[in-house]
Amino acid sequence: MIPMVDLKRQYHNLKKEIDAAIGDVLEETRFILGPNVSALEEEVAAYHDLPYAVGVANGTDALLLALRACGIEAGDEVITTTFTFIATAEVIALLKAMPVFVDICPDTYNMDCSKIAEKITAKTKAIIPVHLFGHPADMQPIMEIAAKFNLKVIEDCAQAFGAKYNGAKVGTIGDVGCFSFFPSKNLAGYGDGGMIITKNEEIAQKIKILRNHGSGKRYYHQEIGYNSRLDEIQAAIIRVKLRQIDQFNESRRQNAAAYCAAITGKDIILPVVASGCEHVYHQFTVRAKNRDVLADALQKKDIASAVYYPVPLHQQEVFLKSGNIPVQLPQSERCAQEVLSLPMFPELNREEIRLIADVINHVS
């Protein structure tokens, strides 16, 4: 069996360090906002050459708290991509704002920046670009539009820790960068976790208050907030992995190169990397008109695959019944019918890649 991601291999490689880190937390018995959370915040901030990083409970909360800290309120509109996990738009709706969906570029699966300006209204307050599958969104035109219309930019970096756009790490370009440490992510814990980075002190302080029941001082509450604190044990685990994230990402790029060399089926559209971008391949996603046939063939050989995402957000029932005007976004709709993600993790070996490629080449 070749899984989509093999967490056990990485754990075994790091077992001594991870077990020791967890053991230290258990001995310290400071489980909430303890020293590992503080240290991880400092280390993530330093990695991104930014002054502020704030740990939160998960990637969804990172987006939610970032939106609130950026002043998004009921009735506002936030532009984002339709081709992403629902959390990106869910948090907009939770604040009773309106997600406004934009189509994608079919080569990178990221927001088509040429479609943003036409979506802007007097109610538009922010843009959430998503660095999907580990490929950076095209941030320069996004930032130009944001500057022109005085919009906040919240980068959804859940799948792209360490990816670069024109030399800048994702999350450092907009007003705020939001990360997820879900177990399958390229930097991951063994449970939920999230992080927000920013250069803006006011935003950072607001998020620290919001994550802790709206309190900057114990039992004194300035806001209606949340219980959204990064777990100390998860922070300890992530700190171990952070030390190797660049090597992990390089292994993913090498695996992607091996896939691209091995997959020769003429009907398969392989991932591309846009000029100036450094992909981290959270997913290795191909496109094929016979996607379901490929998936069945892989399954018969005990090889996992997955469809991210089968239904674009603008077609999801929850948004259609909550006020979003039905629209046609053809690139996203077509990609949803054709994408297939193959196993991808740093420890994937060349023999496994060859076996996967052989199945695909035989079918296509």
Q: What percent of the chain has pLDDT over 70?
A: 100
User: What does the pLDDT average to over 283-299?
Assistant: 97
How is 220-240 classified by DSSP, letter by letter? EESS---B---BHHHHHHHHH
Q: If pLDDT is split at 50, 70 and 90, which confidence band does 253 have?
A: very high
pLDDT reading at 324 higher than 90: no
SS3 track for 307-322: CCCCCCHHHCHHHHCC
As assigned by CATH, the class of the 7-99+112-242 domain is alpha beta
> What residues does CATH 3.90.1150.10 cover in the chain?
245-363
Q: Which residues contact 306 (CB under 8 A, 6 or more apart)?
A: 4, 340, 341
**pLDDT in the model for residue 303:** 98
User: Which of helix, strand or coil describes residue 137?
Assistant: coil
User: What does the pLDDT average to over 281-306?
Assistant: 98
User: What does the pLDDT average to over 77-86?
Assistant: 98
User: What does the pLDDT average to over 194-203?
Assistant: 98
Question: Each residue of 164-175: pLDDT tens digit?
Answer: 999 999 999 999
What CATH superfamily classification does 245-363 receive?
Aspartate Aminotransferase, domain 1 (3.90.1150.10)
Q: DSSP character for 346?
A: T
* Residue position matching structure tokens 């995402």: 309
User: What does the pLDDT average to over 249-253?
Assistant: 98
Listed residue (338, 331, 317) closest to 83, CA to CA: 331
pLDDT reading at 325 higher than 90: no
Number of H helices, E strands in the chain: 12, 14
Q: If pLDDT is split at 50, 70 and 90, which confidence band does 323 have?
A: confident
Question: Each residue of 91-105: pLDDT tens digit?
Answer: 999 999 999 999 999
pLDDT reading at 326 higher than 90: no
**Residue 33 identity (one-letter amino acid):** L
Q: How far is CA 218 from CA 34, 62, 209, 233, 269, in A?
A: 15, 22, 10, 22, 55
pLDDT reading at 293 higher than 90: yes
> What residues does CATH 3.40.640.10 cover in the chain?
7-99+112-242
Q: DSSP character for 133?
A: G
Provide the token pair at 288: 């094929």
User: What does the pLDDT average to over 58-63?
Assistant: 98
pLDDT reading at 45 higher than 90: yes
